Amino acid sequence: MTVLIDGAAGAGKTSLAAEFASRWPADRELLVIHMDDVYEGWAGLEAGIVELGEEVLARRVLGEASRIRVYDWNTESMSPGPQIPANVDLVVEGCGSLGALHAESAGVRLWIDAPADLRRVRALSREGEDFERHWDMWEDQFTGYVERVRPQNIASLVIRANR
């Protein structure tokens, strides 16, 4: 099973992924991937989308194990991440996950959104000053992605968060 959770910054993707993980059947192995670990820095939305699509989802479609590269925000460098067995259940949460190659092959595709003012408060309270400095750049990348891909139309379920 593959679950993709996409939406704007601060919409609630990480919280929803944690809820999924807490309720996942104990007899099934689950791996959660956070796209924040895959982006190549603040300008890395597109690179993260490509990484997820080519290195994980395309291989899962073929029944192959994969390995994703992980970004270290402190050293600003990529390194090999964990091995992802083909048979493990996977939840991927993060901006751009529905834009990845083979996203349509995921068993569950969620788009989550929330009002812009609520999203900003949530995101900045979690990420702090660093995100605040990059907020406009990130929002511009994300808006371009949404206009180009229309991920909410790929979703099997759209969720609107109000609090």
* 94-149 pLDDT per residue, tens: 999 999 999 999 999 999 998 888 887 877 777 667 777 887 888 899 999 999 99
The CA distances from residue 54 to 37, 61, 139, in Å, are: 16, 11, 24
Q: Report DSSP state, residue 8.
A: S
Identify the pLDDT of residue 32.
97
Identify the pLDDT of residue 152.
95
Structural domain of residue 140, as residue ranges?
Answer: 2-160
Number of domains in the chain: 1
**Crossing angle of helices 116-127 and 129-149, rounded to 10°:** 140
Identify the pLDDT of residue 75.
93
* 73-92 pLDDT per residue, tens: 889 999 999 899 999 999 99
Identify the pLDDT of residue 35.
96
pTM of the model: 0.92
Is 35 within 8 Å of 11 (Cβ atoms)? no
The CA distances from residue 139 to 8, 123, 144, 148, in Å, are: 8, 12, 8, 14
- pLDDT of 28 > 90? The answer is yes
Write the CATH number for 27.
3.40.50.300
Q: Where are the beta strands (DSSP E) in the chain?
A: 2-7, 30-34, 66-72, 77-84, 89-93, 108-113, 157-160
Identify the pLDDT of residue 23.
96
Identify the pLDDT of residue 161.
84
Tracing tokens 């890395």 back to the chain, one arrives at 44
Write out the two tokens for 89: 């259940």
Rounded to an integer, what distance in angstroms lies between the CA atom of residue 56 and that of residue 29?
17
pLDDT class for 4, splitting at 50, 70, 90? very high
The CA distances from residue 19 to 16, 37, 43, 124, in Å, are: 5, 19, 29, 21
Using only C-alpha atoms, the chain has a radius of gyration, in whole angstroms, of: 15
